[in-house]
Amino acid sequence: MFLQDFQSNLEKYSQELRVPDERQRNVFFEYLHFVKACYSLEKIDNILEIGSGHSTPLFSTIAKDYGSKFYSVDLDFSRVKKAIQGTQFEQIVDKYCILTKSLSVSVEEFTSYYNSDYISTFMGKDLKEFHKSLETFITLSGDIRKLEKIAIELKIEPTIEELIPSILSSKGFFSNKAIKDIYSFEEQFEVETSFVRNHEKPFHNDFNNSIQTIPSWDVVFFDSGEFSNNIEFEKLAPKIRKGGLAILHDITFPKSFKNFIPCSYILANPREWEIIYLDTTKTPQGLMVAKKC
């Protein structure tokens, strides 16, 4: 069984898939936890990965073992293809992974979300309900350059006590251009918006015509762009079946903008989600695996 072999030979698999350095090896080793969670499910019909990488051959193998349909959504699969070239995973990915070259959000979704004066809710819940759970996903150790820039922009001390109220305030944290610039390519949010606009056609149609037509998902891996995950989670989490898994990578703020809000929502709603695995310290990115109740 792949799970047992993978668990016993993490270093061997990391070398086979050309994981390049210690930092990324630690991330790859942590993937064991979502692999174990997947193999705990009785059935897996549909798997979705948003953002390809070293996770792609792992999900492809799970799809092979369960007879699942596995969709991987990205605009560039060259990194995956390079990693699996000449390995046992090359044929597995080719046969069991549907590579979907597409954006996951439209320009309209992207601009309307981040141009809002104030985002007060997430998944229909008031953001202020996440106050306590947010503390879990704010880590102030490690590289603090982003934290220092945020503190200067918000005119606060770089502490959790002052950062959380600023995130939840009515002053528009998510629409603050300076904050968005910090997490943008070339530190310009306009570049992010232009990227979405330039790639929307014809690629977004592939997402709408294939991914959005799937009625339910057994497993969804959220690991795409800094600014798209909030939108993706609100669209796709309702389609995760009861007993299905949400897997979220890059979950710590201010290191990343990606998934700290979806993770705070999950942690704040234990009647809806069971935490299978949660780590914010073993790697800078962190990882959450949650089962829908």
Contacts of 96 (CB under 8 A, 6+ apart): 60, 61, 63, 64, 68, 70
Domains of the chain as residue ranges with CATH: 2-105+200-292 (3.40.50.150), 109-191 (no CATH)
Q: What is the pLDDT of residues 130-171, one digit of tens each?
A: 999 999 999 887 777 899 999 999 899 999 999 999 888 867
Q: Output the pTM of the full model.
A: 0.95
Task: For the chain, state the CA radius of gyration.
Answer: 19
- The maximal CA–CA distance of the chain, rounded, in angstroms, is 54
Q: What is the pLDDT of residues 69-108, one digit of tens each?
A: 999 999 999 999 999 999 999 999 999 999 999 889 888 8
